[in-house]
Amino acid sequence: MPTYLTTVKDCLDSDVFTGVVEKEFKLSNGVARWLNFNVITPHLEQLKTSINLVIETHYIDKVYRDSYYSYYSSKLNRYKRNCIKISLFDTVIAQDDFLDIYKINLLSDHYLGFLVLRPTEPAILGRSVISPRALEVNDIQICSVRISSTANALKFKAIGFPHSSQDTETITCAETTIWSLMEYFGHKYPEYKPALPSKIHTILNSVSFQRLLPSTGLDVNQLSYALRELGFGTKIYSRGVYGNIFENLLSTYIESGIPLVVALDNGRYLKENPDDTDTNYIGHALLCIGHVTTKDQMIDDLEEIDTLDSGLNDITKGSIVKAFDCNDMVREYVFVDDNHPVYQKAFLKHPAEYYKSPSWRKCEISHFIVPLYRKIYLEAFEVKNFVLGFLLNSPHKIQNDNEVTIRTFLASTRSYKQYISLDSSMDPEIKRLIIEEKLPKFIWVTELSTKELLKSKMATGLIILDATEPNVFNFEPLIMALHSNFLVKFSRETKSLEKFELPLRPFSMCESNLKNIV
Structural domain contains residue 158? no
End of a domain among 106, 130, 154?
Answer: 130
CA–CA gap between residue 349 and residue 290 (Å, rounded) = 15
Prediction pTM value: 0.93
End of a domain among 105, 130, 155?
Answer: 130
User: What is the Cα gyration radius of the chain?
Assistant: 25
CA–CA gap between residue 40 and residue 44 (Å, rounded) = 7
Amino acid at 259: P
Q: Is the pLDDT of residue 315 over 60?
A: no
Angle at which helix 380-393 crosses helix 246-255, to 10 degrees, equals 100
Structural domain contains residue 427? yes
Structural domain contains residue 447? yes
Mean pLDDT in residue range 122-147: 95
State how many domains the chain has.
2
Q: What is the model's pLDDT at position 311?
A: 53
CA–CA gap between residue 253 and residue 267 (Å, rounded) = 25
Q: Which ranges of 140-238 does DSSP label H, i.e. alpha helix?
A: 173-188, 197-205, 220-229
Structural domain contains residue 392? yes
Q: Please write the tens of the pLDDT for every residue from 60-105.
A: 999 999 888 887 777 777 778 999 999 999 999 998 999 888 899 9
CB-based contact 86:116 (threshold 8 Å): yes
> Parallel, antiparallel, or unpaired: how do β-strands 322-325 and 403-412 relate?
parallel
Q: Please write the tens of the pLDDT for every residue from 166-215.
A: 876 666 788 899 999 999 999 999 999 999 988 888 887 766 544 444 44
End of a domain among 112, 130, 148?
Answer: 130
Structural domain contains residue 476? yes
DSSP assignment of 442-466: EEEEEEEE-HHHHHTTEESEEEEEE
Q: Is the pLDDT of residue 16 over 50?
A: yes
In 225-251, which positions are buried (b, 16+ CB within 10 angstroms) versus exposed (e)? bbbebbbbebbebebeebeebbbbbbb
Structural domain including 57 reads 1-130
CB-based contact 41:133 (threshold 8 Å): no
Structural domain contains residue 215? no
CB-based contact 285:218 (threshold 8 Å): yes
Higher pLDDT, 144 or 215: 144
Structural domain contains residue 397? yes
3-state secondary structure of 393: helix
The DSSP output letter for 256 is T
Q: What is the model's pLDDT at position 212?
A: 43
Q: Is the pLDDT of residue 318 over 80?
A: no
